[in-house]
């Protein structure tokens, strides 16, 4: 379990809820209210926040970084920094580590999750982020590729649709912020149910979480997360799985998964990922 603690309570927040970690399915609203981004801004300190943007998953990091810079500056964050890391060796440089040390919130943009892991994996920069998340003095948010990397295992690619089978999904190691989770993004928007089921068949010790666009799993410090945004979050829980033919299957043969538990959660629903229990909005 990730043991995160709240940082300073925000006195001027419209919504006083503080989310230590926010995992976003991609394509979050950046124009009409910016609900998810505002929740991150508020969690990171509101107008007292120093927000770091990490755009290195993108092929156009300057463009993507500037877009989020303008959004958070428009919210009147105290300071916004773009940590435009281009090479793995830069992750151990003091200029980026010192900038990170001043941040109250860090935001990973979308792009290519493999590029993100290749740049940041096993670096001092990523180790510092994880340590500060665990100590409770840094709020983390990742969207799209920035969401995919949070598990110990990560979906690095694949295709949509069809029946669950090995060929639908490519898997590799993630950055391990939540070791027990396996996240897919743009979920129903890109018809990725079979892909996530295939990933869980290969990693039945993990909990599958499929997050729709403009939707966020907003984690609390008590082992639960809340759904915010316009879409749904799909939970694929293999905890009571009685059989899968995955070990004996070929690349394209259909997979069997018996006694799989599936939940679909929407705005306000809460889920305890430690006990794997659904909680209603008023629980």
Query: Does the annotation mark 186 as catalytic?
Result: yes
Q: Is residue 249 in some structural domain?
A: yes
1 inside domain: no
Active-site residue (options: 186, 188, 198, 249): 186
Q: What is the pLDDT of residue 281?
A: 61
CA 7 to chain centroid, in Å, comes to 20
Instruction: Write down the pLDDT at residue 16.
Output: 58
DSSP letter at 168 equals G
Instruction: Write down the pTM of the prediction.
Output: 0.93
Decide if 118 is inside a domain. yes
Which has the closest alpha carbon to 68: 48, 151, 77? 77
| pLDDT of the residue at 1 | 44
> Which pLDDT score is estimated for 137?
96
Q: Name every residue whose Cβ is closer than 8 Å to that of residue 99 and which is 6 or more positions away in sequence.
A: 52, 81, 83
109: in domain: yes
Query: Is 144 a known active-site residue?
Result: yes
Q: What is the spatial distance between Cα 240 and Cα 247, in angstroms, rounded to a whole number?
A: 18
Q: Domain limits at 127?
A: 21-278
- Per the residue annotation, which of 43, 58, 144, 198 is the catalytic one? 144
Residue 76 lies in a domain: yes
Residue 3 belongs to a domain: no
Number of domains in the chain: 1
| Catalytic-role residue among 162, 180, 204, 263 | 162
Q: Which residue has tokens 């945004």? A: 229
Helix (H, G, I), strand (E, B) or coil at 212: coil
Checking DSSP bridges between strand 139-143 and strand 105-108, what pairing results, if any? parallel
DSSP string, 55-108: -TTSSSHHHHHHHHHHHHHHTT-SEEEE----SGGGGG-HHHHHHHHH-SEEEE
179 within a domain of the structure (yes/no)? yes
Closest listed residue to residue 272, CA positions, set 153, 180, 173: 180
Which pLDDT score, from 0 to 100, does residue 17 have? Answer: 84
Residue 25: give its domain's CATH number: 3.40.50.880
For residue 78, give every residue at least 6 positions away whose Cβ sits within 8 Å of its Cβ, in sequence order, or none: 45, 47, 48, 49, 50
pLDDT, residue 283, reads 60
Give the distance, in angstroms, between the CA of residue 227 and the centroid of all CA atoms in the same chain: 13
Q: What is the pLDDT of residue 122?
A: 94
pLDDT string in tens for the chain (283-residue length) = 455 433 323 333 345 589 999 999 999 999 999 999 999 999 999 999 999 999 999 999 999 999 999 999 999 999 999 999 999 999 999 999 999 999 999 999 999 999 999 999 999 999 999 999 999 999 999 999 999 999 999 999 999 988 999 999 999 999 999 999 999 999 999 999 999 999 999 999 999 999 999 999 999 999 999 999 999 999 999 999 999 999 999 999 999 999 999 999 999 999 999 999 999 666 6
- Res 8: pLDDT: 29
Q: Tell me the C-alpha distance between 67 and 211, whole Å.
A: 23
């Amino acid at each position: 379990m990730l043991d995160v603690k709240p940082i300073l309570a925000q006195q001027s927040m419209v919504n006083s809820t503080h989310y230590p970690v926010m995992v976003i399915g991609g394509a979050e609203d950046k124009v009409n209210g910016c609900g998810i981004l505002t929740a991150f801004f508020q969690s990171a300190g509101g107008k007292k926040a120093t927000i770091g943007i990490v755009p290195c998953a993108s092929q156009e990091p300057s463009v993507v970084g500037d877009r989020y810079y303008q959004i958070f500056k428009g919210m009147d964050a105290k300071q916004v920094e773009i940590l435009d890391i281009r090479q793995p060796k830069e992750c151990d440089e003091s200029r980026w580590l010192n900038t990170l040390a001043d941040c109250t919130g860090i935001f990973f943009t979308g792009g290519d999750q493999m590029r993100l892991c290749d740049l940041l994996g096993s670096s001092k920069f990523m180790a510092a982020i994880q340590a500060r998340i665990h100590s409770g003095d840094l709020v983390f948010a990742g969207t799209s590729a920035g969401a995919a990397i949070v598990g110990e295992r990560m979906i690095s690619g694949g295709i949509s649709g069809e029946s669950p089978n090995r060929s639908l999904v490519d898997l590799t190691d993630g950055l391990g912020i939540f070791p027990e989770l396996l996240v897919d993004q743009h979920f129903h928007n890109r018809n990725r149910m079979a892909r996530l089921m295939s990933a869980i068949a290969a990693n039945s010790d993990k909990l599958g979480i499929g997050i729709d666009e403009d939707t966020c799993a907003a984690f609390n410090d008590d082992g639960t997360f809340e759904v915010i945004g316009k879409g749904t979050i799909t939970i694929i829980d293999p905890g009571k799985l009685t059989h899968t033919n995955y070990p004996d299957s070929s690349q394209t043969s259909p997979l069997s998964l018996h006694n799989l538990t599936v939940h679909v959660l929407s705005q306000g629903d809460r889920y305890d990922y430690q006990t794997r229990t659904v909680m209603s909005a008023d629980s």
